[in-house]
Amino acid sequence: MYVAVKGGEAAILATHDLIAEERRGDPSIPELSVAQIREQMALSVARVMNEGSLYDRDLGALALKQAQGDVIEAAFLMRAYRTTLPRFGSSVPLDTAAMAIRRRISATYKDLPGGQVLGPTYDYTHRLFDFALMADLGSEPEAQVAVSPLDNTMPRVPDILGDEGLMEAESPPADDPRPFDLTRDPIEFPADRDVRLQTMARGDEGFLLGLAYSVQRGFGSNHPFAGEIRLGEVSVDFIPEELGFAIDLGDVTLTECQMVNQFQGGKDIPPQFTRGYGLAFGHSERKAMSMAIIDRSLKARSFGEAAEYPAQQEEFVLYHCDNVEAAGFVEHLKLPHYVDFQGELELLRKIRREQEERAAQAAQLEAAE
Amino acid sequence: MNVPFVMGRGFSDPIFQSQAIFRLILQALSTPGVLLRVDTSSFEGPQGLSSAAAATLLALADYETPVWLPDHLVKGPMRDWLVFHTGAPISERPEHALFAIIDAASPDPALARFATGEDRYPDRSATLIVLCPSLENGTPLMVTGPGIESLVNFAPQGIRNGFWDEFAANHERFPLGVDLLLVSDDKIVGLPRTSKVTPLDGAA
Amino acid sequence: MTVNPHTESKTPRQHWMSVLARASLKDLEQAIASLGPMPAYDVMKPAETGTIMLEGRAGGAGRRFNIGEATMTRCVVRLKDGTMGFSYALGRDKRKAQLAALLDGMLQLPTHAAILHNSVIGPLAEQQASKKIDVSRKAAATKVDFFTLVRGDG
């Protein structure tokens, strides 16, 4: 048997030209610029930055343009590009308490120091089409402007309960160790919280959302409250080895979610609320909330809860939430498996042949008797 | 800020130049015992240091690879040069280093003091840059092992007594062990842990 | 040796490096065009784009973890008298990195510092601060006043 394994080069090159034309769409329609995508598709760009694990709004927009809006393909482009860059170091841990707030809400406290700031959100829209956006009127929307700005910083909501000792403490382990980095070392189980949070931060929003929903529906045992969701800009500080002091590199936009969950207590610990944490690039509330719910459910082991459900099993969650890996493995099935399949085919034919021969022999014997 | 005035320049085109050096080091380690030359036109190393050693660290070291240096280099301009260009932390203990420069003649530290990797991750081992006065006309050595078709003869100068016994013990630990890059000026010779080195005049 | 940037106030150099990192290429080009002839300099480390791993803390204050990387660009120049100018900023703008490094070098020279503070750093810092306040005022317009809403409910 002969199986062709070479060829198709001209066909492959022709697909590049064809997909480029498809991507462009109808040439009578003006082409999208990367800047337009960056400014006007910012929530998609944020998702691509999260799942591509690289904060760069221009590159996120370019990835979306190049991938025709396919978010997972765009995330793949970000990951591939990242591997071509040297890494200069790690930032000082970002301080979300110092965030320049644009949105900050709590479902647990009405009156908070700093207040409830609704910010830019679709939460209070009616989900009715705005056909004016289709009409291309060219009028510029204008936001309202308050007389005074918000407070410079606002306390994180769980820290308020923490002061009363009613909240699970959140403090660094001794020596404040450098975090695990899954881009450098393979994940091992049981996985620590730093491993879980990094994996979820680059995990697929849809996968995490589905898992978080499963927890709420009863496939898991926690009952979360949105303690706080905040959106805004946080400055990135970096201490270059050659200077030895911190440099402010500019701002990144982050969404942070603190979930407050049912309380736990034991012989030695008085009952207290437990917490789950989510943090994501850009305005990515659904992602941050899902991550926070699963962060809490993955604490099952440390709270002595039975890990019966998918969202409580860290190996299940961490190994399956990466959409670039998942897409790679599912989609590799479309690559040629001619040799494997031919092997199976031959085997099946042989089994059939043997079966037929045995049947024929049996028939002969029967006839002879 | 303590960056000295006389800081040598780094690669003018970091991506391509570091890749070229990386390729050369790959070549050195895949053809053990063969003398190669580093193109040193693209950067300025610290004064007095072999340019092959400087090029190797410029291409391979970064903020995640602790580097161990002998005393005289820690105290000299080498330290600032390395930190400035690569951001690599200077390791105080040999066993924490992923790269190290050692003097061929100096009895310390012994090869066994450097990281040799773990059974699951033999790659988590140190690569040692060994400063030699010359890589030619010294004690002849016979090098055999993977990457060597027949025999390679190589004769570095100024290697401390007992060094090749230590290297033989290192070879025995395969797949664990350190890898060596012997350098002098712009010349470099690779001796990975897989190589077997036999001094030809019977000296150890 | 490491200084916690969140608790310690900025040194003058940290302040101007921060202003330069947050400026746009256009800002810096305009600034330099207004300054007249620039001092000669060598590029010690050509502007290079790489990444920085961004760390967060679980719960905001707990164990460190890696969120993901961001692109950043750095550059180092050396002025004729040996003064080194550094720049580090998020993003991939190499031209901006080189200009910022040059300005960092010049800001360390007593001969240039005053004019640069007056004509470049001061105005840019003011512009950046006022932009931040504008953003915050728009967010403040969406702040909920529950007291008003529940008044009279007892």
Per CB-CB distance under 8 Å, the chain A contacts of C53 are 87, 89-91, 181
Residues B28-56 have pLDDT tens digits of 999 999 999 999 888 888 888 999 999 99
Those residues whose C-beta lies under 8 Å from the C-beta of residue C53, and which sit 6 or more positions away, are: A87, A89, A90, A91, A181, C66, C68, C69
Q: How confident is the model at residue A158 (pLDDT cuts 50, 70, 90)?
A: confident
**Which one-letter DSSP state was computed for residue B95?**
G
Assign 3-class secondary structure to chain C: CCCCCCCCCCCHHHHHHHHHHHCCHHHHHHHHHHHCCCCCEEEEEEEEEEEEEEEEEHHHCCCEEEEEEEEEEEEEEEECCCCEEEEEEECCCHHHHHHHHHHHHHHCCHHHHHHHHHHHHHHHHHHHHHHHHHHHHHHHCCECCHHHHHCCCC
Per CB-CB distance under 8 Å, the chain A contacts of C60 are 96-97, 156, 158-159, 170, 256, 258, 277
In terms of C-beta density within 10 A (0-12 exposed, 13-18 middle, 19 or more buried), how is residue C72 classed? buried
Residues A37 and A65 in one domain: yes
Alpha-carbon distance of B68 to B114, in angstroms, equals 10
Residues C95-115 have pLDDT tens digits of 999 999 999 999 999 999 999
Whether the CB of C18 is below 8 Å from some CB of chain A: the reply is yes
* Of A262 and C46, more confident: C46
- Would the pLDDT of C37 be above 50? yes
Of C1, C133, C143, the CB nearest to A116: C143
- Would the pLDDT of A175 be above 50? yes
Residues A171 and A316 in one domain: yes
Which chains lie within 8 Å of chain A at 3 or more CB pairs, if any?
B, C
Contact assignment for B84 to A89 by CB distance below 8 Å: no
Interhelix angle A323-331/A205-216, rounded to 10 degrees, is 110
Residues B71-122 have pLDDT tens digits of 999 988 899 899 988 889 999 999 999 999 999 999 989 999 999 999 999 9
- Would the pLDDT of B4 be above 80? no
Interface probe, candidates C143, C147, C150, chain A, greatest A C-beta count within 10 A: C143
In this prediction, residue B61 carries a pLDDT of 94
- Would the pLDDT of A73 be above 70? yes
Percent of chain C with pLDDT over 70: 89
Residues A26 and A158 in one domain: no
In this prediction, residue C7 carries a pLDDT of 47
Q: How confident is the model at residue C1 (pLDDT cuts 50, 70, 90)?
A: very low
Interhelix angle C122-140/C12-22, rounded to 10 degrees, is 70
Task: Kindly state whether residue A339 falls inside one of the protein's structural domains.
Answer: no
Q: What is the mean pLDDT of residues C120-127?
A: 97
Per CB-CB distance under 8 Å, the chain C contacts of B84 are 45, 76
Residues A210 and A322 in one domain: yes
Q: Count how many Cα atoms sit within 13 Å of the Cα of residue A263 in the half-sphere of its side chain.
A: 11
Of C45, C46, C82, the CB nearest to B5: C82
Whole domain around residue A72: which residue ranges? 2-82
Per CB-CB distance under 8 Å, the chain C contacts of A237 are 5-6
Chain C (67-126) residues lying within 8 Å, Cβ to Cβ, of chain A: 67-72, 74, 86, 88-92
Q: How confident is the model at residue A230 (pLDDT cuts 50, 70, 90)?
A: very high
Whether the CB of A107 is below 8 Å from some CB of chain C: the reply is no
- Would the pLDDT of C33 be above 50? yes
In this prediction, residue C3 carries a pLDDT of 41
| Nearest residue in C to B5, CA atom | C82
Of A86, A89, A241, the CB nearest to B83: A241
Whether the CB of C84 is below 8 Å from some CB of chain B: the reply is yes
Contact assignment for B12 to C82 by CB distance below 8 Å: no
| Nearest residue in B to C82, CA atom | B5
Task: Please state which CATH class domain B14-199 belongs to.
Answer: alpha beta
Alpha-carbon distance of A186 to A202, in angstroms, equals 15
Per CB-CB distance under 8 Å, the chain C contacts of B10 are 44-46
Q: Round to the nearest angstrom and report the end-to-end CA distance of chain C.
A: 57
Residues A160 and A308 in one domain: yes
One-letter amino acid for residue C30 of the chain: Q
- What is the interface pTM, i.e. ipTM, of the complex? 0.92
Which chains lie within 8 Å of chain B at 3 or more CB pairs, if any?
A, C
Residues A108 and A25 in one domain: no
Residues in chain A: 369
Task: Kindly state whether residue A128 falls inside one of the protein's structural domains.
Answer: no
Of B1, B3, B63, the CB nearest to A88: B63
Alpha-carbon distance of A354 to A349, in angstroms, equals 9
Give the domain ranges of chain C. Answer: 5-141
Question: What is the least distance, in Å, from the CA of A139 to any CA of chain C?
Answer: 19
- Collapsing DSSP to helix, strand or coil, A16 comes out as helix
Q: What is the mean pLDDT of residues A331-350?
A: 91
- Would the pLDDT of A91 be above 70? yes
Q: How confident is the model at residue B6 (pLDDT cuts 50, 70, 90)?
A: low
Task: Kindly state whether residue A133 falls inside one of the protein's structural domains.
Answer: no
Whether the CB of A87 is below 8 Å from some CB of chain B: the reply is yes
> Number of residue pairs across A and C with CB atoms under 8 Å?
256
Whether the CB of C154 is below 8 Å from some CB of chain B: the reply is no
| Nearest residue in C to B2, CA atom | C84
The backbone torsions φ and ψ at residue B198, rounded to the nearest 5 degrees and listed phi first, read -125, 115
Those residues whose C-beta lies under 8 Å from the C-beta of residue A343, and which sit 6 or more positions away, are: none
Whether the CB of B12 is below 8 Å from some CB of chain C: the reply is yes
Cβ–Cβ under 8 Å, residues A92 and A235: no
- Would the pLDDT of B1 be above 90? no
Contact assignment for C60 to A258 by CB distance below 8 Å: yes
Q: What is the mean pLDDT of residues B173-194?
A: 97
Q: Round to the nearest angstrom and report the end-to-end CA distance of chain A.
A: 41
Contact assignment for C56 to A103 by CB distance below 8 Å: no
Per CB-CB distance under 8 Å, the chain B contacts of A244 are 1
The domain total for chain A is: 2
Q: What is the mean pLDDT of residues B66-72?
A: 95
Give the domain ranges of chain B. Answer: 14-199
Contact assignment for B9 to C42 by CB distance below 8 Å: yes
| Sign of the dihedral through C-alpha A285, A291, A293, A296 | negative
Percent of chain A with pLDDT over 90: 75
Residues C60-105 have pLDDT tens digits of 999 999 999 999 999 999 999 999 999 999 999 999 999 999 999 9
Q: What is the mean pLDDT of residues A27-40?
A: 97
- Would the pLDDT of C5 be above 90? no
Q: Using alpha carbons only, how large is chain C's radius of gyration in Å?
A: 20
One-letter amino acid for residue B130 of the chain: V
Whether the CB of B117 is below 8 Å from some CB of chain A: the reply is no
Task: Kindly state whether residue A49 falls inside one of the protein's structural domains.
Answer: yes
What is the value of pTM for the model shown? Answer: 0.90
In terms of C-beta density within 10 A (0-12 exposed, 13-18 middle, 19 or more buried), how is residue A167 classed? buried
CB atoms within 10 A of CB A139: 8
Contact assignment for A117 to C72 by CB distance below 8 Å: no
In this prediction, residue B77 carries a pLDDT of 87
Interface probe, candidates C13, C142, C151, C153, chain A, greatest A C-beta count within 10 A: C142
Those residues whose C-beta lies under 8 Å from the C-beta of residue B28, and which sit 6 or more positions away, are: B34, B36, B181, B188, B189, B190
Contact assignment for B64 to A242 by CB distance below 8 Å: no
Whether the CB of A186 is below 8 Å from some CB of chain B: the reply is no
Residues A53 and A105 in one domain: no
Question: What is the least distance, in Å, from the CA of B166 to any CA of chain C?
Answer: 38
Alpha-carbon distance of A91 to A239, in angstroms, equals 7
Residues A92-129 have pLDDT tens digits of 999 999 999 999 999 988 888 889 999 999 999 999 99
- Would the pLDDT of C8 be above 70? no
The mean pLDDT value of chain A amounts to 92
Cβ–Cβ under 8 Å, residues B132 and B141: no
